[in-house]
C-alpha cells in the first residue's frame, strides 16, 4: 500500500511550463543491489541533480511513534519526514532542466522516501500509507529560467514534510524509513516509467549509492 505522489505540469502563455520540483517524490521499497545506508534520525542526505553536476545536500529529520499495538496483527506507527531542500542557483535549475530534457522528460526529480531494512533491502510484513503534508510544508515560490530561448517557471519549496502510517506485522523487527537521493542526475523517461510501475527498484531507477550519504534512514522498530 505505497503512496504515489504525482508530478503535474501545464503550459502557460507561449510554452511556459510550471513544474513541481522539490518535495514531490514517490515512496518505494527494496533493492538487491549493494548500497550504503547511513543510519540516523537527522542530518543531511545527498543528491546530484544533473549528470556531471556537484553533490547537493538536503537537511532531514525522521521521527516515529507507536500509536496502536496489535491492530489486527499489526503495530501501527506514525512516521514524519522533514526535508529542507538544497539551495540551487539559477544555473543549477537550468542545468537540471537541460539534463531532464536530454533524457526525454520535463518533470524533475531529486529525492524519494524509502522503506527498507538496514542494508537498503526489501521488507516483509510491512505496509504503509500517507505522503506529502502540504499544511506543514513551506509555501511554493517561483524560480524562472530560460532554456533554448523559452521561458520556464519552476515551483519550489524550501521545506517539505511527509507523514505516514506504517503497519508492522507483530514480531517483525529491523524496519527503517528514510530518504534516497539521485546519484547521477536525472533519469530517462523509460527508466522513470519502469520505476513508477514497480518493475525496478529505487537503486535501479537511479537513487542511492554505494557511496555514503545518498541514503539515510531511521529505525522504526
Q: What is the pTM of this model?
A: 0.83
Burial of 15 (0-12, 13-18, 19+ CB in 10 A): exposed
What lies within 8 Å, CB to CB, of 83 at 6+ separation is: 23, 45, 58, 59, 60, 111, 159, 160, 161, 162, 179
How far is 64 from 80, CA to CA, in rounded Å? 6
Number of helices (H) and strands (E) in the chain: give both, helices first. 3, 14
In the prediction, which pLDDT does 37 show? 96
Is the model more confident about 93 or about 28?
A: 93
Share of the chain above pLDDT 90, in %: 64
Cα torsion for 193, 199, 203, 207, to the nearest 10°? 20
51-77: pLDDT as tens digits? 999 999 999 999 999 998 777 889 999
Amino acid at each position: 500500500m505505497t503512496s504515489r505522489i504525482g508530478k503535474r505540469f501545464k503550459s502557460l502563455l507561449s510554452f511556459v511550463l510550471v513544474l513541481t520540483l522539490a518535495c514531490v517524490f514517490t515512496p518505494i521499497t527494496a533493492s538487491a543491489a549493494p548500497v550504503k545506508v547511513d543510519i540516523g534520525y537527522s542530518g543531511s542526505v545527498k543528491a546530484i541533480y544533473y549528470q556531471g553536476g556537484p553533490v547537493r545536500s538536503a537537511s532531514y529529520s525522521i521521527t516515529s511513534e507507536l500509536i496502536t499495538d496489535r491492530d489486527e496483527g499489526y503495530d501501527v506507527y506514525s512516521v514524519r519526514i522533514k526535508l529542507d531542500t538544497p539551495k540551487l542557483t539559477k544555473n543549477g535549475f537550468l542545468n537540471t532542466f537541460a539534463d531532464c530534457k536530454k533524457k526525454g522528460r520535463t518533470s524533475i526529480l531529486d529525492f524519494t522516501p524509502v522503506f527498507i531494512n538496514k542494508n537498503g533491502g526489501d521488507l516483509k510484513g510491512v505496509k504503509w500509507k500517507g505522503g506529502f503534508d502540504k499544511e506543514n510544508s513551506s509555501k511554493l515560490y517561483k524560480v524562472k529560467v530560460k532554456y533554448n530561448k523559452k521561458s520556464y517557471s519552476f515551483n519550489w519549496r524550501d521545506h517539505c514534510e511527509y507523514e505516514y502510517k506504517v503497519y508492522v506485522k507483530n514480531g517483525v523487527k529491523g524496519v527503517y524509513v528514510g530518504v534516497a537521493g539521485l546519484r547521477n542526475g536525472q533519469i530517462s523517461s523509460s527508466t522513470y516509467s519502469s520505476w513508477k510501475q514497480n518493475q525496478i527498484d529505487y537503486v535501479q531507477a537511479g537513487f542511492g549509492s554505494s557511496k555514503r550519504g545518498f541514503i539515510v534512514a531511521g529505525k522504526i522498530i
